[in-house]
Amino acid sequence: MKRSFYLLITFFFLISCSQKNNEIAENARVVDDLGNSFQFNNPPQRIITLAPNLTEFIYDLGLDKFLVGNTTYCDYPDEAQTKEKVGDLITFNFEKILSLKPDLIFITVEGNTKETYDKFRELGLKVFVSNPRSFTGIKKTYLDIAKIFGIKEKAELRIEEWNATISEIKEATDTLNKPTMYCAVELKPIMVAGKNTFINEIIEICGGKNLAAFLKQNYPVLSREEILRSNPDYLLFTAHLNDKVENIINTYPEWKSLKAVKNGKVLLLDRNLFGRPGPRFVEAAETLFKLLHPQY
């Protein structure tokens, strides 16, 4: 009887261990945005990020001790600037990258090129590709990275906070009028955020109506006359540090007749905050919400 009892206990212990191992294996299995499946039995110890938003993901998750290299554009947080620079978004020093002995490289679909991806594969390097073009995509990338490093639960809690904040903003703007606007990411030519961009998603979350949302291109180029004809309530610009509203308006003097200009609704947005689909998406949404609805 006693022997049967011990055998039963051993059986359940083995079943429990097997289930736990399966859970660990499942958590470490990640599919990137090209559909490539990865199995990580141990977290990578030396990683390189080849886009600023990817670097921000790493720091937000507290994984920067594993980061051995990034790009010249990776400037947030400030500590990211101290990492070894392996190139910009397009041109890379492959010799330096190899010397850093990375066991995983993170790249993006929109920020990097297929040639870069192919070169890394040719060199035998492991490459994880992300494409965080929307809030959903941002959350997937965040969770993917967390799974790779075995901190899935930490990421899930953070994502819950993000979802709660976005829900609050949507609820606050649900009954408000929807002001019309463009968000220009470049002034010469006039390039604006279209429908399939995370900037458009932020505008909609904050209760605005993006006048370029009906266009098929992600970042269509408009004429100065099209802006005049639309006469938006707001003009948003993702600006550089030294940009001024007056300089932007003076670039196209005829815009002084626009409602947005007359009513002081030309807004400069932090170019990095609104130009990188990353973990500061919610911060960007909160920022725009306060600018559009200062009564809250």
pLDDT tier, 243 (very low <50, low <70, confident <90, very high otherwise): confident
Question: What is the enclosing helix (H) or strand (E) of 270?
Answer: strand 266-270
**Which pLDDT value is given to residue 240?**
77
**Residue ranges making up the domain that contains 33:** 26-150
Answer whether residue 7 is part of any domain. Answer: no
Q: Which one-letter DSSP state was computed for residue 161?
A: H
**Which pLDDT value is given to residue 216?**
87
Same domain, 31 and 120: yes
Same domain, 51 and 111: yes
**Which pLDDT value is given to residue 10?**
43
Question: Three-class SS of residue 223?
Answer: coil
Average pLDDT (108-124) is: 93
**Which pLDDT value is given to residue 22?**
42
Same domain, 103 and 38: yes
Same domain, 33 and 135: yes
Give the closest residue to 284 by CA, choosing from 212, 199, 213.
199
Same domain, 133 and 178: no
Mean pLDDT, rounded, of the chain: 91
**CATH number of the structural domain spanning residue 279:** 3.40.50.1980
Average pLDDT (54-62) is: 99
Same domain, 87 and 124: yes
Same domain, 286 and 220: yes
Q: Give CA torsion, residues 8, 10, 16, 18, to 10 deg.
A: -120
Predicted model pTM: 0.89
Dihedral sign for Cα atoms in the order 236, 164, 168, 217: positive
Strands (E), 74-163: 84-85, 104-108, 127-130
How many domains does the chain contain in total?
2
Answer whether residue 156 is part of any domain. Answer: no
